[in-house]
Amino acid sequence: MDDSCCDPVPDAALSPASSEELADTFKVLADPVRLRLLSLIASVPEGEVCACDLNEPLNRSQATVSHHLSVLVKAGLISREQRGKWAWFRLAPDQIEFVHSVLQTQPMAATG
């Protein structure tokens, strides 16, 4: 005889491994500066932004912005390309839909 009083809970949609991975990503995004950086990068029409253009909108030092960008790169949410003395950032291609769903924005059309 079954002693449960309710319907059984269905299997979770996320596997334990997926849950861990997603939790790690949300830990990265739990910082307001990183969340704002991700939002700024996701919102630029060109699809990429120079690090030199991110200090002013965040009202943070270059060192602080650089640190947070590095954390986002390490988490795989954005990618970095060095062009001369400047670093350029864009959403990681495999994270575009996820980022836009988190930020509730519309993804930019893919460009060749």
Tokens of 12: 């979770």
Residues 83 and 48: their CA atoms lie apart, in Å, by: 12
Contact between 91 and 77 under an 8 Å Cβ cutoff? The reply is yes
Cα(109)–Cα(26) distance, integer angstroms: 25
Confidence tier at 112 by pLDDT (50, 70, 90): very low
Residue 108 is predicted with a pLDDT of: 54
Residues in the chain, how many?
112
Domains of the chain: 21-103 (1.10.10.10)
**Structure-block tokens of residue 47:** 């699809």
> Tokens for 78?
């954005």
Q: Is 28 exposed, middle or buried (0-12, 13-18, 19+ CB in 10 A)?
A: middle
Q: What's the pTM? A: 0.78
Token pair, residue 63, equals 């060192």
Average pLDDT rounded to a whole number, residues 71-85: 96
In whole angstroms, what is the distance from residue 26 CA to residue 95 CA? 13
Average pLDDT over residues 29-54: 92
